[in-house]
Amino acid sequence: MRELTFVEAAREGLAEEMARDPRVFVVGEGIGARGGNFNTTVGLFDLYGEERLRDTPVSERGFTALCTGAAVTGSRPVVDFMFIDFLVDAFGDLFNQTAKLQWMSGGRLKMPIVLRGCVGVASQFGPHHSGNYYPFFLHVPGFRVVMPTTPADAKGLLKTAIRCDDPVLFLEHKNLLNLKGSVPDGEHLVPLGQAVVARRGDGVTIVAIAYMVREALRAAEQLAAEGVDAEVIDPRTLAPLDLDCILESVHKTGRLLVVDEDYAPCGAASEIATQVMERGFDDLDAPVRRLNGAFIPAPYSEALGQGLVPDAAAIARAVRDLLAE
């Protein structure tokens, strides 16, 4: 076991996969010699050069589709968008080509492409650099979506994503990048579609997404002092979702709060709530509650950002309110 930051762990995973498979290459703005705006590729350019660490022009649509074409012809590209907000320009080809080529070709074309980028509200980056956008990829058939919250999971899930023959969104919350945590030695892979119970409890279930897991754990500590024993679940993968893990928890506690920084309408929390309602209706002692970020673009000014995203105090309040149902 070693202590690594989230970024270091992910990078270690990428390095291992690039060493293991010469078909893996990285594409993005500034990921070459500079090592990436978020240090995602530091040290790799020296090992593999520009062919496998390709700095791109500002052509998100272009290089996403280019990597899609590369993926169906035997390469395993990692598209590093830096900020997930930039990926939005590529929506057209992502939904019509990347998501569908495997299906349209009856499985004869594979799509081993990783689409990675940093998500979430942080550091007052403002309206164009604070996005999440992942619900789109839960909604369109063909994608996998993973959002690790620990360094060990960052490494394990990135490796799995690179080895997967499906298009995988690998989303890293900005507030997690410097989080330190234990990372196992040796080969470490985390499977897709497997949630983890970050904190065991039997009083209430909290499913939290990405950075909200950390806030939920802080909230759980506050609540424990009040005699409320919260169980916190980190789904780790949003598509496919480990619903069984959530249902098992709800069966135990009867009450569910889903905390997601992203917007409420048609979001991941809505999907989880609906699935739990469909399959765990009789276990529910109260309606499922969602706690989402404010339904506005992310403001720059601190003053406008109060309550923009849930924090531990807001989560604890939501839990108390849920228990009063």
Partner 1 sequence: MPFEVTMPRLGWSMEVGTLGAWLKQDGDPVEAGDLLFSVEGDKATQEVEALESGILRIPPNSPPPGRELPVGTVLAYILQPGEIAPFEGPSAARDTLPEPPPVATGPAQPPERTVRSRRDQPAISPRARRAAGELGVDWSALQGSGRSGRIVERDVRQAAREAPARLSPLARRVAGRLGVDVEQLAAAAPGRRLRREDVEAAASPAPLSGVRRLVAERMAASAHTAAAVTLTSEADATELVRLRAQLKADAQPVPAYTDLLAKLVARALTEHPDLNAHLEGEAIVQSSAVNIGIAVDTERGLLVPVLRDVQAKPLRQVAAESAALVERARGGSISPDDLRGGTFTITNLGMYDIDAFTPIINLPECAVLGVGRIVPKQVVVDAGAERLAIRHMAFLSLTFDHRLVDGAPAARFLQRVKQYVEMPYLWLVE
Partner 2 sequence: MTHSPDVPRDRLLALYRTMLLIRRCEEQLVRLYAAGAIRGGCHTYIGEEAVATGVCAQLRADDAVFSTHRGHGHALAKGIPPAELVAELLGKATGCSGGRGGSMHLFKPEVGFMGSSGIVGPCITLAAGAGYTARLQRTDRVSVAFFGDGAVNNAAFHEGINMAAAWQLPVLFVCENNLYATEVPFAKATRNPSVAGRAAAYGLPGEEVDGNDVMAVYAAAGEAVSRARSGGGPTLLECKTYRHRAHSEGQREAGYRTAEEINAWKARCPITRFRQRLLQDFGAAAADLDAIEAEVRDLVQEAVRFAEQSPRPDPATAADHLYSEEDGDRA
Q: 12, 17, 29, 60: which one is catalytic?
A: 60
Q: Which of residues 221-260 bind partner 2 (CB under 8 A)?
A: 239-241
Judged by beta carbon distances under 5 to 8 A according to partner kind, the member of partner 2, partner 1, none in contact with residue 66 is partner 2
From 254, 275, 279, 300, residue interacting with partner 1 (rule: CB under 8 A) = 254
Identify what 61 binds: partner 1, partner 2, none; CB under 5 to 8 Å per kind. Answer: partner 2
CB-CB contact of 117 with 84 (8 Å): yes
Q: Does 320 bind partner 2 (CB under 8 A)?
A: no
Tokens of 267: 């979001």
The catalytically annotated residue of 12, 17, 129, 248 is 129
Encoded one letter per residue, x for contact with partner 2 by CB under 8 A and - for no contact, window 47-86 reads ----xx-x-xx-x-xxxxxxxxxxxxxxx-x---------
Residue 294 interaction partner, one of partner 1, partner 2, none, beta carbon < 5-8 Å per kind: partner 1
Decide if residue 228 touches partner 1 (CB under 8 A): no
Establish whether 51 is a catalytic residue: no
Q: Is 187 a catalytic residue?
A: no
What token pair was written down for 100?
Answer: 């569908």
Residue 320: which of partner 1, partner 2, none does it interact with, CB under 5 to 8 A by kind? partner 1
* Residue 178: count of CB within 10 angstroms of its CB: 10
Contact letters (x/-) for partner 1, 304-323, by CB under 8 A? ---xxxx---xx-xx-xx--
Binding site for partner 2 (CB under 8 A): 23, 25, 51-52, 54, 56-57, 59, 61-75, 77, 92-93, 96-97, 101-111, 141-142, 144, 164-166, 193, 239-241
Binding site for partner 1 (CB under 8 A): 254, 264, 281-286, 289-295, 307-310, 314-315, 317-318, 320-321, 324-325
